């Protein structure tokens, strides 16, 4: 089978099988493959199969399509080894074309191998929108007393999104930051023993250990919240998850620090087959099919080590090097030496035990366990050192850790903040922007600190891309120069240098034809997008994903909608979302905007905001 390999600017790869005769690529919904960066046009390019060849065609995009560095003007044949550039993405094909097959009709199920968002079976509908507001009183009570959590009805999972019929199937969203949301979502269920594949450790501390994938979704990470716990410093707290999607197992990276590799290549989402070698952090496993017999090959013994016995004496090593056996005197001397070492060790242990029982010093933080670990963690928690606090809580064993959940949320923000500061110091503008946007909808302490770095992030991002733009301008590559300036303006719309460069780099004749396109989506398109985001925020509110509800509602309002239902859903999601996130100031602000639209929950809203 021929595959399309897509790599983003962070080096993350996604594999898309070329199972259709025509594949469209672009930024808007409806394309077979959706690339979400701003320098990708709405309908950018098209891949075609023709007479056993693969052709690529530019669909009038602004930044064009390049094959091996050359901008194409018509249909161009590509082969394995060619580099195709679309915006910030590098693409290539791999493998051979299959024999011609009948193209499935629109609306039928597509092969389950597109990683980031395959078709899903329909799910039960969500609770009606009025189901959530009834719990506002519980949120208000939570502010009065944090001992009890807000009571709310258990929500039903939201329905799957119906794919665009014109696309012939589900859209594959390639942007790595979206993959965790766009990955396959399946109904979790237990598997029969005959259905369970397993991971077999190949090296290191987990060599020979077996981990069965006992459910259709299995979480892998370093902490106890995961189904498979691998306590290793190279493994993130929530490192990855395994999903059985329409009969095929897939591994999905949860934005881990050290990534996921399959057969040596790093992936954000990848299908798995028996025999694949999987690297999670620095741990290496083999993916084995249900019932498959496999044992890791024996490890080679270390030089000088005798398995099951003592290490050789110096006399024995010398004798071995000279090709002869040691003398009986040497063997006796070696035996006496070993006996003396053993006796000395016993004396040392006895002395240590004596002094420890007479005068025991307080345990250091590294040695702390149980209640000591909780106390140390709580002290770090108060200092807002959440990552260090989580390390102590993980050593607490069965001792209760009331601050652990909050510390886990805050630790993620602290890790982002630390990575952001490092990216700014290193001048890595793209990474800094990505980290900054990751915290944009979070209300944790360190994410708020991250947002305060906005000016520095914009500056380091602009420095990189404006330097590129000036170099491209000097080289006469005006289209690429304008694209770099547009990247800066998409993040910092008031950047004077970028505005000037955009005007200087765009050819006059192109400026007229492209002006309408650069104005962005039409009012109708913005209204449709806002409606979709507002409905998504309402669904997430019912599903108790309060952070996601707030983020989608903010994105909906950013489209400047006029529709009353869109405004009502957005205001309500922000009000209730912030209430459940214990941010009363923002909750009151948005609930006041929601008041003119409320229906059966007006009394509760009035009581909450004190009006």
| Residue 596 scores a pLDDT above 70 | yes
Least confident of 58-67, 209-218, 347-356, 518-527: 347-356
pLDDT of res. 15:
79
Q: Do domains 3-122+164-173 and 186-288 have the same CATH topology?
A: yes
The pLDDT of 152-172, averaged and rounded, is 34
CA distances from 600 to 54, 130, 534 (A): 58, 8, 19
**Looking up tokens 């890595």, which residue turns up?**
428
* Structure confidence at residue 165 as a pLDDT band (50, 70, 90): very low
Lowest-confidence region among 92-101, 178-187, 514-523, 597-606: 178-187
- According to the 3-state scheme, what is the secondary structure of 100-114? CCCCCCCCCCCCCCC
Let me know: does 118 contact 110? Beta carbons within 8 Å: yes
Residue that has been written with the tokens 């490192």 in this structure: 239
Residues 6+ apart with CB under 8 A from 493: none
CB 178 within 8 A of CB 10: no
Q: Which pLDDT band, with edges at 50, 70 and 90, does 1 fall under?
A: low
**DSSP label at residue 296:** P
Q: Is the pLDDT at 607 greater than 70, yes or no?
A: yes
- How remote is the C-alpha of 125 from its chain's centroid? 27
pLDDT digits (tens, 9 = 90+) for 231-249: 898 899 999 999 998 888 9
- List the CATH code of the domain at 3-122+164-173: 2.60.200.20
Q: For the residues 422-429, what does the mean pLDDT come to?
A: 88
Residue 12: pLDDT over 50: yes
Which of 65-69, 243-247, 279-283, 300-304 tops mean pLDDT?
Answer: 279-283
Write the DSSP assignment of 25-52 as a string of letters.
EESSTTSSEE--STTS-SS-EEEEEETT
- Spatial contact of 376 and 400, defined as CB atoms under 8 Å apart: no
- Asked if residue 290 has pLDDT above 70, the reply is yes
Beta carbons of 203 and 64 less than 8 angstroms apart:
no
Q: In whole angstroms, what separates CA 477 from the centre of its chain?
A: 35
Measured CA to CA in angstroms, residue 470 lies from 38, 71, 108, 462 at distances of: 20, 20, 49, 12
Evaluate if residue 474 carries a pLDDT over 90.
no
Alpha helices in 359-403 (DSSP H): 370-382, 386-393
CA 435 from centroid of its chain's CA atoms: 12
- Residue 321: the pLDDT is 41
- Domain 186-288 class? mainly beta
Q: What is the pLDDT of residues 319-343, one digit of tens each?
A: 444 444 444 444 444 555 555 555 5
Q: Which residue has the higher pLDDT, 199 or 368?
A: 199
Percent of the chain predicted with pLDDT > 70: 71
Predicted confidence (pLDDT) per residue in 563-586, tens digit: 989 999 999 999 998 888 888 888
CA dist 560 and 523 (Å) reads: 9
pLDDT for 294 equals: 92
Q: Is the pLDDT of residue 604 over 50?
A: yes
* One-letter-per-residue 3-state SS of 78-147: ECCCCCEEECCEEEEEECCCCCCCCCCCCCCCCCCCCCCCCCCCCCCCCCCHHHCHHHHHHHHHHHHCCC
What residues form DSSP beta bridges with 244? 249
**Of 128-142, 241-255, 304-318, 537-551, minimum mean pLDDT range:** 304-318
Q: What pLDDT sits at residue 533? A: 92
What's the rounded Cα separation, in Å, for the pair 398 and 599? 47
Task: Give pLDDT tens digits for 494-546.
Answer: 788 888 887 888 765 444 555 545 556 788 888 999 999 999 988 888 888 88
Around Cβ 65, how many Cβ atoms within 10 Å? 24
Per-residue pLDDT at 97 exceeds 80: no
Q: Give percent above pLDDT 90 in the chain.
A: 16
For residue range 480-507, what is the model confidence (pLDDT) as tens digits?
888 888 888 888 877 888 888 878 887 6
pLDDT of residue 405: 84
Q: Say what the pLDDT of residue 247 is.
A: 85
Residue ranges of domains in the chain: 3-122+164-173, 186-288, 370-440, 454-511
- Between CA 358 and CA 362, with CA 360 as vertex, the angle to 5 degrees is 165
- The position carrying tokens 């798995």 is 272
Report helix angle 546-557 to 523-542, nearest 10: 160
User: In the prediction, which pLDDT does 520 show?
Assistant: 62
- Asked if the model's pLDDT at residue 119 lies above 60, the reply is no
Q: With 50 as the cut, is the pLDDT of residue 313 above it?
A: no
pTM: 0.32
């Amino acid at each position: 089978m021929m595959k399309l390999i897509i790599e983003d600017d962070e080096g993350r790869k996604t594999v898309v099988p070329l199972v259709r005769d025509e594949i469209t690529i672009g930024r808007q919904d409806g394309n077979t493959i959706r690339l979400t960066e701003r320098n990708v046009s709405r309908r950018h390019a098209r891949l075609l199969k023709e007479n056993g060849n693969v052709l690529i065609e530019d669909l009038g995009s602004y930044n064009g399509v390049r094959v091996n560095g050359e901008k194409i003007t018509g249909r161009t044949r590509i082969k394995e080894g060619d580099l195709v550039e679309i915006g910030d993405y590098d693409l290539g094909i791999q493998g051979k074309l299959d024999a011609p097959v009948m193209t499935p009709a629109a609306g039928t199920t597509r092969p389950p191998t597109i990683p980031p968002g395959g078709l899903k079976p329909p799910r039960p509908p969500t609770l009606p929108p009025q189901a959530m507001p009834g719990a506002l009183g519980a949120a208000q009570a939570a502010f009065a007393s944090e001992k009890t959590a807000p009571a709310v009805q258990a929500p039903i999972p939201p329905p799957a999104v119906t794919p665009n019929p014109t696309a012939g199937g589900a859209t594959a969203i390639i942007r790595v930051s979206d993959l965790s949301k766009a990955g396959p979502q399946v109904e979790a269920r237990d598997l029969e023993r005959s259905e369970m594949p397993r991971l077999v450790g190949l090296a290191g501390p987990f060599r020979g250990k077996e981990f069965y994938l006992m459910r259709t979704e299995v979480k892998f990470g370093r902490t106890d919240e995961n189904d498979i716990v691998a306590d290793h410093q190279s493994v993130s707290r929530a490192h990855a998850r395994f999903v059985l999607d329409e009969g095929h197992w897939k591994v999905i990276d949860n934005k881990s620090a050290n990534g996921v590799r399959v057969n040596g290549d790093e992936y954000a989402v990848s299908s798995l087959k028996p025999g694949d070698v999987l690297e999670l952090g620095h741990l290496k496993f083999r993916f084995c099919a249900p019932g498959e017999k496999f044992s890791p090959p024996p490890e080679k013994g270390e030089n000088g080590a005798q398995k099951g016995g003592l290490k050789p004496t110096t006399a024995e090593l010398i004798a071995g090097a000279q090709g002869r056996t040691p003398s009986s005197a040497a063997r006796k001397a070696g035996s006496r030496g070993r006996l003396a070492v053993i006796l000395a060790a016993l004396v040392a242990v006895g002395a240590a035990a004596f002094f420890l029982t007479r005068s025991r010093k307080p345990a250091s933080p590294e040695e702390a366990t149980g209640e000591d670990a909780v106390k140390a963690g709580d002290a770090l928690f108060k200092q807002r050192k959440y990552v260090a606090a989580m390390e102590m809580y993980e050593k607490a064993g069965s001792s209760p850790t009331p601050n652990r959940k909050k510390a886990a949320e805050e630790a993620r923000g602290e890790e982002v903040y630390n990575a952001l500061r490092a990216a700014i110091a290193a001048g890595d503008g793209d990474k800094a922007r990505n980290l900054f946007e990751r915290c944009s909808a979070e209300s944790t302490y360190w994410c708020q600190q991250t947002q305060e770095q906005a000016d520095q992030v914009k500056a380091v991002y602009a420095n990189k891309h404006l330097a590129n733009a000036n170099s491209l301008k000097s080289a006469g590559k005006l289209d690429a120069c304008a694209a770099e300036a547009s990247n800066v303006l998409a993040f910092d719309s008031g950047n004077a240098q970028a505005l000037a460069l955009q005007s200087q780099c765009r050819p006059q004749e192109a400026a007229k034809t492209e002006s309408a396109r650069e104005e962005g989506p039409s009012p109708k398109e913005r209204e449709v997008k806002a409606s979709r985001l507002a409905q998504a925020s309402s669904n997430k509110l019912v599903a108790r994903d309060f952070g996601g509800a707030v983020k989608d509602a903010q994105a909906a309002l950013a489209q400047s909608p006029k529709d009353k239902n869109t405004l009502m859903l957005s205001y309500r999601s922000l009000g209730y979302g912030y209430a459940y996130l214990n941010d009363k100031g923002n909750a009151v602000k948005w609930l006041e905007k929601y008041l003119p639209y409320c229906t059966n929950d007006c009394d509760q809203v009035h009581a909450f905001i004190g009006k």
